[in-house]
Amino acid sequence: DQQVKQNSPSLSVQEGRISILNCDYTNSMFDYFLWYKKYPAEGPTFLISISSIKDKNEDGRFTVFLNKSAKHLSLHIVPSQPGDSAVYFCAASRNTGNQFYFGTGTSLTVIP
């Protein structure tokens, strides 16, 4: 039972444009959400997170939006750069818990 879903396996964006990666979840008990970035042959690297008490968190070019009523979050990257090309995983947890539930990932390609 996939509790965190990323329905777009891949996304291509022109350099300088906005990249929008989407994630949906089913468990209303989740209250902490993260995005991880993964390059080939490396482990996932933490990118940005958001607590359920917020609906937006921004860090430089990266912004995560959370819509609790829709159980949906998205990651915006603007402007996109070729170095952003990687697989992006959405993850969710209960802050007092220990398991992170990951989506299946979205492969982002930023075209120079």
- How far, in Å, CA of 68 to CA of 72, rounded? 6
**Cβ distance to another protein smaller for residue 22 or 79:** 22
Binding residues with another protein: total (CB under 8 A): 26
**Interacting residues with another protein between 53 and 92 (CB under 8 A):** 89, 91
Report the 10 Å Cβ neighbour count for 83.
Answer: 9
Tell me if 44 contacts another protein by CB under 8 A: yes
Tell me if 1 contacts another protein by CB under 8 A: no
**What is the separation of C-alpha 104 from the centre of its chain, rounded to a whole number of angstroms?**
11
- How far, in Å, CA of 56 to CA of 9, rounded? 24
Binding site for another protein (CB under 8 A): 4, 6, 32, 34, 36, 41-46, 49, 89, 91, 93, 95-105
